[in-house]
Amino acid sequence: MELFRHPSFDNHEAVLFASEAESGLQSIIAIHNTSRGPALGGCRYWQYATEDEALKDVLRLARGMTYKAAIAELPLGGGKTVILADPERRKDPGLFRALGRKIEMLGGRYITAEDVGTSPADMVEVRKETRYVAGIPPEQGGRGDPSPITAYGVYLGLCETVRHALKRDNLRGLTVAVQGLGHVGFNLCRHLNQAGAQLIVADLNAERIRRAEEAFGARPVGLVEILTVEADVLSPNALGAVLNAETIPRLKVAAIAGAANNQLADIERDGALLVRRSIAYAPDYVINAGGLTVVCGEYLGWTADEISRRVDAIGPRLADILREASARGEPTQVVADRKAERLFAASHGSRV
């Protein structure tokens, strides 16, 4: 396993390989950039095929958090944690207390929160060992699961993308193909259904599919098929890299807007492919920043009104990106990256 020459290494400030024999903890904490403030990023609990896959994931996710915090104008840097799930050992509170001890060692450079495979209850265990954690349940003074706010921000971004691509001010009668029905995807479906959209859905979990059918009249298809169905909008809300040289030529949509991180397998190549196909793309980290805004607000003590104001800014922010990309003939991801880099690159790595 290489680090400094790893394809996903982007001058990350620090990468900590954190383990503990007693609890069974095997984790990687990546801090990408702290020029705007302490790195904040969730803790992902996942069964990776290889350790290199885990490293690739945490490096990419940490970098993405830097861009997300910057474009959302939050006083934060970017970081991430992945815990390598052991199929022979159940997830238990001791694992997260061990992680808390490792985070405490970093002295506030990194703040964690929940992510895929973790919950507010897990963050309670982390907080027993460190104060550098957010996403705590409301009954314990936190704001709880940020997924509903993430979903709402994605909904705002999807509506703005439809306005740009289809010249429509509402979703009534439009078809949205939603890949992934986790906490964010299912809440997004609720907003889409209430707005009058017809839903096509895909998920590995049969129970989630059944719930979407019953609650929203959704039509289920397979996880691969969802990328080729005829629809107005595709909304990827599972894992990343679903938009690539193989899938983009087969898309049958006018717009893409979803919560999944790192949807483009290759930013330059795949962004250009979408431009050539005249498919409007909402950069994922621009529209999925609602959850980060919530946990940032929890950590810094913002009011609910301040958090709402910042989440509502997602739509106008995306509109500016879509307009600039259209005027320049550039991929939206390139425009978004450039804007984010202006906000953090000048003082890259200056904080300790």
As annotated, the active-site residues are: 80
Task: Dig out the tokens for 35 from the structure.
Answer: 């020029």
Phi, psi of 6 (to 5 degrees): -65, 135
Sign of the torsion angle spanned by Cα atoms 66, 67, 70, 74: negative
Task: Mention every residue, 6+ apart, whose C-beta is less than 8 A from residue 198.
Answer: 173, 174, 175, 176, 217, 219
- E strand or H helix at 151, and its extent? helix 147-166
292 with 69: CB under 8 angstroms? Answer: yes
Q: How far apart are CA 230 and CA 226, in angstroms?
A: 9
Q: How far apart are CA 185 and CA 157, in angstroms?
A: 14
- E strand or H helix at 256, and its extent? strand 255-256
Q: Which of 257, 235, 234 is nearest to 333 (CA)?
A: 257
Tell me the three state secondary structure of residue 218. coil
Cα 47 to its chain centre, rounded Å, is 18
Phi, psi of 132 (to 5 degrees): -90, 65
DSSP string computed for 3-32:
STT-TT----SEEEEEEETTTTEEEEEEEE
DSSP state of 141: T
DSSP string computed for 183-207:
HHHHHHHHHHHHTT-EEEEE-S-HH
**Distance, first Cα to last Cα, the chain:** 27
Q: Which of 214, 168, 170 is nearest to 191 (CA)?
A: 170
